[in-house]
Amino acid sequence: MAREMRVTFPGGTRADAEYKGRIIKTDQPVYQGGGGTAPAPFDLFLASIATCSGYYVLAFCEKRGIPVDKVSVVMRTERNPESKMIEKILIDIQLPPEFPEKYKNAVIKAVDMCSVKEHIMKPPAFEITASIG
């Protein structure tokens, strides 16, 4: 079953996506001629990786009764200076000293199952068409 996401253009460089009853607003940064009123689409792409990773950390900890108030996930990217493409994504799960050592490798494995990451590793096929009328 295909799911539909509809994108509309409310003005300027903004593009809004309607999906599952929600509106996801985007805009281009000021330095690229946009208004900077919302995250850029690429920023949302990166945020989806980081927040998906964070969700897997949260779920892992909650399942084991481990508090997450001192846990965080920091994601960094490395770009190729010539192509400007991201070549490496580094995800650091920052754990407090009281985090059980026996779960350190397991929480890393949990994040490795992030569904956004999985889709990057096994990308879908793209089919682009245009309809008139």
DSSP string covering 86-117, please? EEEEEEEEE--TTS-GGGHHHHHHHHHT-HHH
Domain boundaries, the chain: 1-39, 40-123
**Residue 69 class from Cβ within 10 Å (0-12 exposed, 13-18 middle, 19+ buried)?**
exposed
Sign, CA torsion 123/127/128/133: negative
Q: What is the pLDDT of residues 86-100, one digit of tens each?
A: 999 999 999 999 999
CATH class as words, domain 40-123 = alpha beta
Q: What is the DSSP letter of 58?
A: H
Give pTM, 2 decimals.
0.91
Residue 2 has pLDDT above 90, yes or no: no
Q: What is the pLDDT of residues 28-68, one digit of tens each?
A: 999 999 999 999 999 999 999 999 999 999 999 999 999 99
Share of the chain above pLDDT 90, in %: 97
